[in-house]
């Protein structure tokens, strides 16, 4: 993240007070938000799922890359400073030095989810109800939108068609 911090040096910073929403789930800002200072919580459907305080951590990357509304709310826990980069997609396309760490971040998240899925699978092996849930999660984890429709897992097909 220190490389990102260097690339953002000199850009305009925006401050947020404690308890303020930086990003709201469902909004589409078109911006990337790089945390420069402070601590935030990430909420999905109103449920806190994580906190972050590492300078340089980025938010809005999924919205930018998938061209969809933000998938979570980012709310400040205390006063925070962000570097807000407009036109996120163009910024990522023109900045390999930023795109690579964002790709690494997404790969780390995917790897953690993979590991968790394996743990859950081992722990609940043989539980018919959870086997269905786990199979559905695996389908989503390995879902690739460019595959032929006939090979797309049923749950992923349903999710893909409902997104339209």
Tens of pLDDT along the chain (164 residues)?
Answer: 567 788 888 889 999 999 999 999 999 999 999 999 999 999 999 999 999 999 989 999 999 989 999 999 999 999 999 999 998 989 889 888 888 888 888 888 888 888 888 887 788 777 777 777 777 666 666 665 655 444 444 444 444 544 44
Domain identity same for 19 and 94: yes
**pLDDT score at 18:** 98
**pLDDT score at 110:** 84
Domain identity same for 116 and 66: no
- Which of 57, 82, 105 marks a domain boundary? 105
**pLDDT score at 140:** 62
Split into its structural domains, the chain has a count of 2
Half-sphere exposure of 46 (CA within 13 A, CB side): 0
**pLDDT score at 121:** 78
- Which of 64, 79, 105 marks a domain boundary? 105
Domain identity same for 98 and 76: yes
Domain identity same for 101 and 122: no
**pLDDT score at 164:** 43
Domain identity same for 121 and 135: yes
DSSP per position, 36-101? EES-EEEEETTEEEEEE--TT-EESHHHHHHTS--SSEEEESS-EEEEEESSHHHHHHH-HHHHHH
Q: Rounded to whole angstroms, how far apart are CA atoms 84 and 59?
A: 10
Q: Rounded to whole angstroms, how far apart are CA atoms 150 and 89?
A: 31
Q: Which domain holds residue 132?
A: 108-162
Domain identity same for 65 and 133: no
**pLDDT score at 150:** 44
């Amino acid at each position: 993240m220190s490389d990102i911090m260097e690339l953002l040096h000199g850009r305009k910073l925006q401050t947020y007070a404690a308890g303020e929403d930086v990003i709201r789930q469902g909004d589409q800002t078109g911006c990337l938000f790089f945390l420069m200072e402070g601590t935030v919580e990430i909420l999905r459907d109103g449920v806190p799922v994580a906190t972050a305080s590492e300078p340089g951590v980025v938010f809005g990357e999924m919205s930018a890359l998938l061209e969809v509304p933000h998938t979570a709310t980012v709310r400040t826990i205390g006063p925070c400073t962000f570097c807000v980069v407009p036109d996120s997609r163009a910024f990522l396309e023109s900045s390999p030095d930023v795109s690579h760490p964002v790709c690494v971040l997404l790969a780390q998240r995917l790897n953690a989810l993979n590991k968790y899925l394996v743990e859950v699978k081992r722990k609940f092996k043989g539980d018919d109800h959870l086997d269905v849930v786990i199979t559905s999660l695996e389908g989503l984890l390995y879902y690739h939108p460019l595959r032929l429709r006939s090979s797309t897992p049923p749950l992923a097909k349903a999710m893909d068609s409902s997104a339209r």
